[in-house]
Amino acid sequence: MKAWTGWLMGVALLAGMTGSARIAAAATPDKLIHRDVLFGNPDRADVQLSPDGKHLSFLRSVNGVLNVWVGRTDDPSKAEPVTHDDYRGIRTHFWAHTNEHILYIQDKGGDENWHLYVVDLRSKKTRDLTPYDGVQARIQQVSGKHPDEVLVAVNNRDPRLHDIHRVNVVTGHSKLVQQNDGFVEYLTDDDMKVYFAVKFTKDGGSEIHRATGADSWSLFATVPHADSLTTSPIGLDESRKNLYMLDSRGRNTAALTLLNIESGESKVLAADPKADIAGVIAHPTKNIVQAVQSTYTRRRWQVLDRSIADDMQVLRAVADGDFNINSRTDDDRTWIVAYAMDTGPVRYYLYDRTTKAARFLFTNREQLEHVKLAKMHPQVIKSRDGLNIVCYCTLPAWSDPDGDGRPDEPQPMVLFVHGGPWARDHWGYHPYHQWLANRGYAVISVNYRGSTGFGKEFVNAGNSEWAGKMHDDLLDVVAWAKKNGVADSDRVAIMGGSYGGYATLVGLAFTPDVFTCGVDIVGPSNLVTLIEAIPPYWEPMLDLFAARVGDPRTPEGRAHLMARSPLTRADRIRKPLLIGQGANDPRVKQAESDQIVTAMQAKDIPVTYVLFPDEGHGFARPENKLAFNGVAEAFLAKHLGGRVEPLEDTSGSTITIPAGSDGIPGLPRSLRDGGRTD
């Protein structure tokens, strides 16, 4: 059971005697951490147990590309690769309940047309279970009751709608079990039955429908617009008579509730007054929710089932970080537990419930165990209209010797804005925080209004406030950082991806005097063209976008969206801007970056544009991520005065720089003219 999803040796200073000399004057900086330590492939990730507990799987590099490895649980050091991806890398995988098959998804060049593949561990053969061009597959359900089969949602009939198919992982045979006639998502169970489905309404609310026959539905519940991002069904209990829900109706934060399907009686099982219940752990076969987690500044667990209370108490004492239970065997005797740390890599443990012993397995990035990382400090900052904005601040370690979260003197700062916007930042190891802090910058991430996890009032405060009050929250955090001696008033950059890229463009176009420079990664520049070009399978969510961002289908909505689009104010940008884009991005298409670059060039405003022909919404291949971050590092050093690791070898990357390569000092010769010559 999971929450309704709805839907990263020598030191050469290229900046000369600029701010870097000032940084070093106060204290001796720590040793430079190489970018590949922070942004290269992890040593291990996505650690899973087979349902019978005999084997353990994880993602690990093969010739620089992430693949699935499998080994015996009692000796994972002898694990071997079972997949053979040789370019993009696998990002997530699952065990089928046969215990002999691994499932994983993969797209082409970031187009997000995911195919579902199965690997037979005995024959070592791989089969594409969804061999359709231009189609996106999503794993809907795996079940111990039907080990040979999985439910898969596929939009091969209508690109807007994902139908539910029952697919045999051994034979590859597929059978349609539920045609989608307008729903966003379905709720299914271990019996491979469809029970509920959700659709959005014209006002941005949602409806939960109950299956009453093979192709018949009845309206089960109505969710108002105010609750549509904080209320959803997440699973059925063992009896199938009660529905678990995350529900904010009649309250602010989303609680875990249990709703009797026939009587409609609902009771609250767990709640947090400051934060939404954001995740649950349930028994692997009985569908009983046993504990819930919520996060205000740090993760908090509430135990509901006494049978695991002692286990949770033991796990709290194993390590200092925030832990999560990643995987459980069907007999529930063995768990994989991961601990997120702010100053170290993720630590994985094998937990034996019989002996109550946690055995350390490995970390996700071994090299991080040998470098000095900086602490991440949660900080709650008041907005100008009284909202509590949860932020996370990381400082260069040498600037804060007493570790109180305040530097000895103000530092050049990077405001790092998360995407979404219906997402949030968390405490823990953050590669961008550690990278930037190591280069000499204070870094602050901001959970601006509209971010999820803090209750419906907070998320709804972001409605129609793109480039409005959502941006004011960012400005208020910058003002706080300056007032409290964190940020050097003359050296503050803004950086982020997706919505964070949009916020970067807004920062430079709407408030051109606030930021020293900006780094936009796959950010939209025109909200009208953004929404009009959404992937077809997002069309059922168009009313949600219209209600919370703006409606391009009406003259008033279109005018509002254009007024909040950085493209309309491109001529006001006068601070240095770096843009990164994937050519295959299905969410924020390349045109979003192309058009603002063109507008700036028409006004002779300098801009540096980095384009990857084999990437989508963000940069997945480590070679490309390292190349872009190398460019960004030189860019930030030029304008903020931080430290630089030279960008020397980009031969493994497909990076091109169509515009503004002269704005990046120290570029390899092959990148200076907008393309590659090596």
* Structural domain boundaries enclosing 464: 19-37+369-526+565-671
Q: pLDDT digit string (tens) for 186-217?
A: 999 999 999 999 999 999 999 999 999 878 99
What pLDDT, on a 0 to 100 scale, did the predictor assign at position 673?
Answer: 61
Q: pLDDT digit string (tens) for 403-427?
A: 999 999 999 999 999 999 999 999 9
More confident residue, 24 or 665: 665
Give 349's pLDDT tier (boundaries 50, 70, 90).
very high
Give the C-alpha separation, 279 to 3, whole Å. 6
Asked if the structure places residue 191 within a domain, the reply is no
Give 6's pLDDT tier (boundaries 50, 70, 90).
very low
Asked if the structure places residue 159 within a domain, the reply is no
Asked if the structure places residue 311 within a domain, the reply is no
Cβ within 8 Å of residue 478, ≥6 positions away: 413, 415, 487, 492, 514
User: Which residue among the candidates 383, 498, 593, 653 is catalytic per the annotation?
Assistant: 498
**Average pLDDT of the segment spanning 378-395:** 98
Give the C-alpha separation, 49 to 32, whole Å. 37
Between 21-25, 61-65, 448-452, 525-529, the lowest mean confidence (pLDDT) is in 21-25
- DSSP H or E stretch at residue 611: strand 608-612
Count of structural domains within the chain = 1
Cα angle 379, 510, 641 (rounded to 5 degrees) comes to: 60
Would you state the structure tokens that stand for residue 118, as one six-digit string? 């199965």
Asked if the structure places residue 100 within a domain, the reply is no
CATH number at residue 28: 3.40.50.1820
Mean pLDDT of the chain: 94
String of DSSP letters for 271-318: --SSS-EEEEEE-TTT--EEEEEEESSSEEEEE--GGGHHHHHHHHTT
User: Which residue among the candidates 190, 247, 342, 585 is catalytic per the annotation?
Assistant: 585
Q: pLDDT digit string (tens) for 486-502?
A: 999 999 999 999 999 99
What pLDDT, on a 0 to 100 scale, did the predictor assign at position 274?
Answer: 98
Asked if the structure places residue 382 within a domain, the reply is yes
Strands (E), 185-265: 185-188, 194-200, 206-211, 217-223, 232-236, 242-247, 255-260
More confident residue, 677 or 670: 670
Whether the predicted pLDDT of 610 surpasses 80 = yes
Asked if the structure places residue 142 within a domain, the reply is no
**Average pLDDT of the segment spanning 59-88:** 97
Is 617 noted as a catalytic residue in this protein? yes
Is 425 noted as a catalytic residue in this protein? no
Answer for the pair 154, 131: CB distance below 8 angstroms, yes or no: no
% of the chain beyond a pLDDT of 70 = 95
Q: How many C-beta atoms lie closer than 10 Å to residue 372's C-beta?
A: 13
Give 674's pLDDT tier (boundaries 50, 70, 90).
low
Whether the predicted pLDDT of 536 surpasses 50 = yes
Whether the predicted pLDDT of 388 surpasses 50 = yes
What pLDDT, on a 0 to 100 scale, did the predictor assign at position 8?
Answer: 25
**Average pLDDT of the segment spanning 478-493:** 98
What pLDDT, on a 0 to 100 scale, did the predictor assign at position 214?
Answer: 77
For 156, the 3-state DSSP assignment is strand
Q: pLDDT digit string (tens) for 257-314?
A: 999 999 999 999 999 999 999 999 999 999 999 999 999 999 999 999 999 999 999 9
Asked if the structure places residue 483 within a domain, the reply is yes
Q: pLDDT digit string (tens) for 14-48?
A: 223 233 334 434 478 999 999 999 999 999 999 99
Is 148 noted as a catalytic residue in this protein? no
Asked if the structure places residue 327 within a domain, the reply is no
User: Which residue among the candidates 247, 617, 653, 661 is catalytic per the annotation?
Assistant: 617
